[in-house]
Structure 1
Amino acid sequence: MLLVFLAVLLAWAAYRATRPPPPKICGSANGPPVTSPRIKLRDGRHLAYLEFGVPKEKAKYKIIFVHGFGGSRHHNIFADAASRAVIEDLGVYTVSFDRPGYGESDPDPKRTLKSLALDIEELADQLELGSKFYVVGMSMGGLLVWPLLKYIHNRLAGAALLAPVINHWWRSFPSNISNEVYYKMFKQDQWSLRVAHHLPWLTYWWNTQKWFPSSAVASESLAMFSPPDMEIMSKFTLTEAQKTQPKQQGEYESLHRDLMISFGKWEFDPMELENPFPDGEGSVHVWQGDDDRFTPVTLQRYVAKQLPWINYHELPRAGHMFALADGMMDTVLKTLLDVKDK
């Protein structure tokens, strides 16, 4: 009976160790305060957003920005790196938002690739951005532009994916290419992604246990960044909001669910998508640095080759953070909007 009791006790302890704590919902008794404007979505959740650029009533172009892993609405690449003069001269309005579970947006335990696309469509409708709008995503946010091209392409005027992360388990990847890149990753990230893909219910435990190294990306290890990245990052200082807001509701519904969704089993393969703009009424651009340690250029080249309608821009001697380089976002903006220099 003692052995049975110990076995049950260990099983219960193991079960508890895999169960994440409940999130600290913004606006609740034990949660952070609500400080940002929010919309109420179809299922009752709230989505926080932040506007930047010219007033939308006067804007010629309207862009929704999708932040990356560990980011928030405060990580709007246009506010951080685009020239204010260019934004005003072109008449650009941008809105960034907290993806579910990040910042001040309510978590979505039922989150899927499609649900995020519908969240963005509803954000555009409630903010009255019109029938067509542009989307720009960076890093993990770039990865999540693919579902937008799949599910709401009829609402898009164009899209830009900046250093988009890639899921190694998309079925179109030849195993030799996928494995070659995968096994060049840090061992701890190989294991972290394996868990997120094959055993998602263990993701919380894996990234909080102390026996083995967890994800280098989740722990924000500087070892992930290339020399060009380090040079760029030395010129930027994060604001207090950028540091504290992303994970304030808890890491499980933000970082960990991001890993499970992004590296899980996708219901579609981006490399099988058809051209969302067959009549040339818009364009899709992928920008990639050739010294990106997060998203190896080999995989990005393969994706671009499989999708001839993609406008692929490869930048020499550039890392994952190239979008923050001087003048880069002005170039991305003018290319996406098909605006010629005066």
Structure 2
Amino acid sequence: MIARGFTTYRWMIDFEYEGMVETAVVLLLASLLRLVYQRLIRPPPPRICGAPGGPPVTAPRVKLRGGRHLAYLETGVPRAAAAHKIIFVHGFDSCRHDVLPASQDLLRRLGACVVSYDRPGYSESDPDPCQTERSSALDVQDLADQLGLGDRFHVVGFSRGEQVVWSCLVHIAHRLAGAALVPPVSNFWWRGFPGGGVSRRAYAAQLPQDRWAVSVARHAPWLVYWWNTQRWFPPSSLIARDRRVYSPPDLDVISKLAAAAGPRRRPHKAEVKQQRVFEALHRDMIVAFGEWDCSPLELSNPPPGVAVHLWHGADDRVVTPAMSRHIARQLPWIRYHGVPDAGHLFMLADGMADRIVKTLVLGD
């Protein structure tokens, strides 16, 4: 009887001891995972422009709904005298200083004012932790209203910035006078692409590191910061500035721009990510390849009175033109402009931006 009681007591002690060990192991693993998340996976907080310890505010800014600010830059004729108002949406790893490269002479002759703005988290515009494709369009609308651009205005998006233009066509088409997408970065997971077809082939045509980067942005956005800052695997080619992503026409454009401007071609380069890389580049990727409320391919009717132009270089290796051609076939009210012997950066070549602006404003 005593022996049996002792055995039972010993079993209870062993059971409690094993439970304590398991609890300790779980707590240790949880602590390690928390440490890994805090040190490696979770991005550091942004350095807000104008906040204590943050970069200074040097640009004119407008205040949006919810209190955020957008910084902007104007080129061309003054807003008050402009016959045509154009909002230019910059691309990936850029800012308001990377303006629509149309000649000032053309803008004066057309009576056009161009407003280029920093997208959220870039340069001097406040980050938007709740950013979606819809909020991007509402930012454009708020900017136009704050600057008094009128009931209708034109929008031009370059590269990743064209996704904001797509969102404008979905959410605020009634405010647009015209739209140009040059050359558009499409979301491989937009509804409306045929299963196993053009979007899958376009995805497969990317460099392997870019397939991984956009997949992480799509399926594990909480890992985007770690993926693009770790040293074990190559990050996005654009973040890594890997020139293999560019075609020979692109490299020619880059070479000519560098030769013309010298080593200070982009003196604002450091300003682009001054509020930290996550709020600029990484969140940009998450929004670009995440879930959209409405796919542009679901637009059934052309926006009333809005001429939409889509430009794409035939030798674009950053974004294959196949997806753009498919969109233009499915939405026949979009005028497709294929540019032969051109890559992703063709808008920066001599005369191309003038051609795009004239087509947009005059319908040439």
Give me the TM-score of the superposition, normalised by structure 2.
0.89
State how far apart, in whole Å, the 2-side matches of 1:147 and 1:339 are. 22
State how far apart, in whole Å, the 2-side matches of 1:96 and 1:83 are. 15
Following superposition, the deviation at residue 339 of structure 1 comes to: 5.5
State how far apart, in whole Å, the 2-side matches of 1:93 and 1:301 are. 30
CA contact (8 A) 2:310 2:336 kept: yes
1:67 aligns with 2:93: no
State how far apart, in whole Å, the 1-side matches of 2:205 and 2:306 are. 36
Flag structure 1 segments of 5+ consecutive residues without an equivalent: none
Farther-moved stretch of structure 1 (213-222 vs 115-124): 213-222
What is the aligned partner in structure 1 of residue 354 from structure 2?
A: 330
| Cα shift readout 1:257-300 (whole Å, capped 9, x = no counterpart) | 1100000111111111134434xx33000000010011101111
What is the aligned partner in structure 2 of residue 52 from structure 1?
A: 75
1:221 aligns with 2:221: no
What is the aligned partner in structure 2 of residue 86 from structure 1?
A: 106
The one of 138, 147, 156 aligned to 2:176: 156
Q: Match for 1:154: what amino acid?
A: H
What is the aligned partner in structure 2 of residue 310 from structure 1?
A: 334
Counterparts of 1:1-342 in structure 2 under 5 Å?
1=21, 3-4=25-26, 6-16=28-38, 17-77=40-100, 81-174=101-194, 175-237=196-258, 239-278=265-304, 281-338=305-362
Farther-moved stretch of structure 1 (186-195 vs 232-241): 232-241
State how far apart, in whole Å, the 1-side matches of 2:266 and 2:330 are. 41
CA contact (8 A) 1:102 1:254 kept: yes
State how far apart, in whole Å, the 2-side matches of 1:217 and 1:311 are. 28
| Cα shift readout 1:156-179 (whole Å, capped 9, x = no counterpart) | 000000011011111211223222
| Cα shift readout 1:276-334 (whole Å, capped 9, x = no counterpart) | 434xx330000000100111011111111100000000011100000011111111111
| Cα shift readout 1:236-255 (whole Å, capped 9, x = no counterpart) | 24644431111110011111
- The DSSP-based 3-state class of the residue aligned with 1:50 is strand
State how far apart, in whole Å, the 1-side matches of 2:356 and 2:301 are. 20
CA contact (8 A) 2:63 2:69 kept: yes
Give me the TM-score of the superposition, normalised by structure 1.
0.94
Q: Match for 1:93: what amino acid?
A: C
CA contact (8 A) 1:134 1:157 kept: yes
Determine what percentage of the aligned residue pairs are the same residue. Answer: 52
State how far apart, in whole Å, the 2-side matches of 1:265 and 1:287 are. 25
Higher Rg of the two aligned structures? 2
CA contact (8 A) 2:191 2:298 kept: no
What is the aligned partner in structure 1 of residue 9 from structure 2?
A: none
Q: Match for 1:316: what amino acid?
A: P
Farther-moved stretch of structure 1 (15-24 vs 309-318): 15-24
- The DSSP-based 3-state class of the residue aligned with 1:335 is helix
Farther-moved stretch of structure 1 (38-47 vs 232-241): 232-241
- The DSSP-based 3-state class of the residue aligned with 2:34 is helix
Aligned residue pairs: how many? 335
State how far apart, in whole Å, the 2-side matches of 1:96 and 1:214 are. 28
